[in-house]
Amino acid sequence: MLNLQPYENPQYFLYLIIALLPVIIGMFKGFRMHWYESIFSLVFLVLIFDADKWPQGKALLGYVVFNLLLVYAYFKYRTREGSKNSTAVFYLSVALGIAQLAIVKFTPLFQHHGSILGFLGISYLTFRVVGTIMEIRDGSIKDLNMWKFVQFLLFFPTISSGPIDRYRRFVKDYDRVPDPEHYAQLVTKAMHYLMLGFLYKFILGYIFGTLWLPSVEHMAMASRGGAFLGLSWPVVGVMYAYSGYLFFDFAGYSLFAVAISYLMGIETPMNFNKPWMSYNIKDFWNRWHMSLSFWFRDYIYMRFVFFVMKHKWLKSRVSTAFVGYLVLFLIMGIWHGETWYYIVYGLFHAMLINLTDAWLRFKKKHKDFFPHNKATHYFAIFMTANAVCLSFLIFSGFLDTLWFH
């Protein structure tokens, strides 16, 4: 049976555009066919998880059923008259929401094969579930339509790797039909993003990831014998080649997901905003994988800081922020995987962002000694880009191969 993985090849886009034609025509004529969008999404989900991917499909079905019941039960509990909004019930709901993902992530520590509960996109569905539970807890979500929540949870353009949307924002787009002029702008943007995505993922990503990266990795492995820790100039080449590949491959995918969302009238948030122009690491995280970094900021960092300040565990705001960043990036590292280089990647970014905070405080007190001009601005961009590339070298796992294999 035909199996299609999201945005993997031109054939996928051909089927996708043909299936989207009724949606596009309907939008231009001022009406929305929710029934067709649902069937269309279901068909493509089946094509993603059929054939040899069917075990993942069964895991997805189980996940969806369990988490629909979980979110519905917590919403009913939270909105019932006289609800105590128990912290224990909230923590239990969040724990249950991340349970399947946690099992999938940590199974490789105990056995050589992956968990039968895993499926493509489990992390991003978990972000949606947990984010929704947290907004129900806050009282931000006062009306939860379970059918619309299913559409939000299984919105197929973004199911495999995001961008991560929020329930309330998604429903606003889902409920409205954009006027023809606005939809024409969305289609124009979608075509631009599709072309840019093809350039990024299938041309530049191919150059960096297929043509350059294996060559410099081979040179780096061949040069490791006579160098300290195996480090050599080819390792620097690996650092830059992998960083380029990671950006163009993932940014290309994200552009595809946003473009298809726009064609469906859903203005999924962008994931990248010129990250290589960042002038410090905080600015970088406001530009790189933005839907993920904002999710971690809003649902982990801010809540952790509020909890610590409320219970007066730390008196200093500086200390609270310091610990908050450690917790945030440690969790982010573990989320990527349980191997040492993902954890070190997270801790490295925690160190960078805490050093940035310290530098900004020092600079604020000594304004006269540190002029700000074009030269210093571009130097800051250069330093930030190289620090990020070094972190991606850690993230790539190549150092693990270089040192231990």
Given the structure tokens 């210093």, which residue do they identify? 376
Is there a catalytic annotation at residue 336? yes
Three state DSSP letters for 282-348: HHHHCCCCHHHHHHHHHHHHHHHHHHHHHCCCCCCHHHHHHHHHHHHHHHHHHHHCCCHHHHHHHHH
Angle CA(86)–CA(172)–CA(189) in degrees, nearest 5?
A: 130
3-state secondary structure of 364: helix
- Answer for the pair 264, 37: CB distance below 8 angstroms, yes or no: yes
Please, where are the H alpha helices in 139-232? 146-153, 167-175, 180-198, 205-206, 213-222
In the set 218, 336, 349, 372, the catalytic residue is 336
Question: In the block, which residue shows the tokens 């933005």?
Answer: 290
List the helix and strand counts (H, then E) for the chain.
Answer: 18, 0
Tokens read off for 203: 């041309």
**Which residues carry out catalysis?**
336
